Structure 1
Amino acid sequence: MTMKKSLVIAISSVSGGGKTTITNELACQLPAASILRFDEYAFEGPENLAKWAKEGADYNAWNLAPLLEDVLLLKERYDLILLDYPFAYQNSRMKDVIDLAVYIDTPLDIALVRRMLRDYPEGSATVMKKDLSHYVTYGREAYLAMEHKIMPNSDIVIEGTLSKERITQRIIEEIDKFKW
C-alpha cells in the first residue's frame, strides 16, 4: 500500500503573532487543506512555563502524541495539512512530519497588544494588569525562547507586521515550490 504524499506546513509565532489568522487565511485560499490547531489539544507538558523557559525551553518536554497521531491520519486523506503550531521543528517527534516550517516574526509589543485585545475584548483593567504583570515577570521569557530557538530553525521567516494577505501570499509561493 502506497501512502499518499501530503505536505505539512507548520505556522509558528509567539502568542498573538498571527498563527491562527494566517492559518485561517491560508485555508480560505487553499480550500482542499486540512487544519490542526495546537490550542485545541490538552497536552502533557511543563507545569511551570516560566521555569521551563528559564531552563532552556526544551520543546521535547511536551507530549505531542495526540497531535502527531492526527497528522499521520490526515496525511492519508489530504494533500495539504496546515498546523497552527508554535514549535516548528523543535519537538523531535513532530519534526519528521513537517515539510515546511514558517515563522511569523511579530515584534513582542505588537504580539502582546494583539493577545490582550483578543483575550480581553471586554476585560476589566484589574484582570489586564494581572496578565501584563505575569507577562513581564514570567511570560516574556517564553516569547524570547521562541525568538532564539524556533525562528532560526524555521525554513522561512516572514515579517509579522505585513498584511495577512502579503504573509499568506508569501507562504503560498513557498508551497508552490513543492512538487507533490
Structure 2
Amino acid sequence: MNKPILIGITGGSGSGKSTIANEIFESFGGEKIVMMQQDAYYKDQSHLSMEERVKTNYDHPKAFDNTLLVEHLKTLSKGESIEKPIYDFTIHTRSRETVPVEPKEIIIVEGILILEDKRIRDLLDIKVYVDTDADVRIIRRLLRDMEERGRTIDSVVNQYLTVVRPMHFQFTEPTKRFADIIIPEGGHNKVAIDILVTKMKDILN
C-alpha cells in the first residue's frame, strides 16, 4: 500500500468537524477511509480518584495523549494496524477496551487541537479549519453533552463559560493560521466539502 493521505480537520467544539469528516467518509463510500478522533486520545486517568478526574480540563492541550496519537498515525502510515483507545466520559478515564483499526488510503484526524501540536501538523497532508459562529457551537455542544454524556444544562453552560470559551480563544482559534483550507458554516458548506473531496481524489489518482 502506498503512503496514505492524512487529512486534519479542526475547529471549535460544536463547529461541525465530525459532520464534515462524515460527509467525506460517505463520499468515498467508507471503504478507503480511517477515522481517527482526537477525543479518543485523552490521557488515561485510572490512577486518579473520581473527584480529581472531574476537574479535568478537556480543552487544554495537556489533556491529550498526543504522543500515542502520533505513534498510531505513523503506524497506520506504514501500513500496519493499531488498537485505538476508547475514552469513557461518564467515568472520566480511558476504557479497558480498544478498537482495532486497519490502515487505509485516507486517514482523517479530527479534533479541537490537532493543529496545536507540531508533531501532528507535520504528518498532515491537508489541514482544514472549520469556522463556525460561537452561538451555534454552544447550542450544539449543549445538546450533545446532555444527550451523549449525561450532563445537565447548568454544568454544560458553566463549563463553556469558565473553560471551553477561554481555551478556544487561547489554543484552538490561533491554529487557524496553520490551515490550508478554512471552511465557514461547518457541515452545511457543501461547496467547500465538494472541493475538498475533489482535491483528495486528485491526490489519490
Deviations along 1:73-100, one digit per CA (max 9) or x if unpaired, are 2222422111112224321221221111
**RMSD over aligned Cα atoms:** 3.1
1:64-75 to 2 correspondence within 5 Å?
64-75=66-77
Determine the C-alpha separation between the residues in 1 that align with 2:44 and 2:180: 27
Determine the C-alpha separation between the residues in 2 that align with 1:122 and 1:83: 21
Cα distance, 1:122–1:103 mapped onto 2, change above 3 Å: closer
Q: Secondary structure at the match of 2:117?
A: coil
Residue 99 of structure 2 corresponds to residue 99 of structure 1? no
Partners of 2:11 and 2:173 within 8 A in 1: no
Indicate the residue corresponding to 2:175 in structure 1.
150
TM-score (norm 2): 0.69
Indicate the residue corresponding to 1:163 in structure 2.
188
Question: How many equivalent residue pairs?
Answer: 170
After TM superposition, the runs of 4+ consecutive aligned structure 1 residues lying more than 4 A away are: 59-62
Cα distance, 1:120–1:178 mapped onto 2, change above 3 Å: same
Cα distance, 1:170–1:90 mapped onto 2, change above 3 Å: same
Determine the C-alpha separation between the residues in 2 that align with 1:60 and 1:26: 29
Alpha-carbon shift at residue 23 of structure 1 (Å): 1.1
Q: Secondary structure at the match of 2:144?
A: helix
Determine the C-alpha separation between the residues in 2 that align with 1:49 and 1:123: 16
Determine the C-alpha separation between the residues in 2 that align with 1:35 and 1:15: 18
Indicate the residue corresponding to 2:144 in structure 1.
118
Determine the C-alpha separation between the residues in 2 that align with 1:25 and 1:86: 18
Indicate the residue corresponding to 1:43 in structure 2.
43
Higher mean C-alpha displacement, 25-34 vs 85-94? 85-94
TM-score (norm 1): 0.78
Determine the C-alpha separation between the residues in 2 that align with 1:137 and 1:164: 30
Indicate the residue corresponding to 1:26 in structure 2.
24
Q: Secondary structure at the match of 1:15?
A: coil
Partners of 2:10 and 2:110 within 8 A in 1: yes
Q: Secondary structure at the match of 2:152?
A: helix
Partners of 1:108 and 1:143 within 8 A in 2: no
Determine the C-alpha separation between the residues in 2 that align with 1:107 and 1:65: 31
1:168-179 to 2 correspondence within 5 Å?
168-178=193-203
Determine the C-alpha separation between the residues in 1 that align with 2:119 and 2:149: 38
Q: Secondary structure at the match of 2:128?
A: strand
Partners of 1:60 and 1:91 within 8 A in 2: no
In the alignment, structure 2 segments of 5+ residues that lack a partner are: 46-54, 80-102
